[in-house]
Amino acid sequence: MKGIYLINEGRYHNFESKSHCKSLIRSFLKANQIQTVKLNSNQLNDYYTIPHALLYDLKQAKMLLDYLVIYSNQDVNEFIYMYPAKWVLLKSYFSEVVFVEEQRISG
Residue pLDDT, tens place only, 45-86 = 889 999 999 999 999 999 899 999 998 888 899 999 999 999
Report the distance separating Cα 77 and Cα 33, nearest Å: 27
Locate the domains of the chain by residue range. Answer: 2-106
Would you say 69 and 28 are in contact if contact means Cβ atoms under 8 Å apart? yes
With 70 as the cut, is the pLDDT of residue 26 above it? yes
Residue pLDDT, tens place only, 86-98 = 999 999 999 999 9
What is the rounded average pLDDT of the residues 22-48? 92
pTM of the entire structure? 0.88
Report the distance separating Cα 68 and Cα 3, nearest Å: 6
| Cβ neighbours for 94, distance < 8 A, ≥ 6 positions apart | 3, 4, 64, 65, 66, 67, 68
With 80 as the cut, is the pLDDT of residue 106 above it? no
Report the distance separating Cα 60 and Cα 100, nearest Å: 27
pLDDT at 9: 72
pLDDT tier for residue 18 given thresholds of 50, 70 and 90 = confident
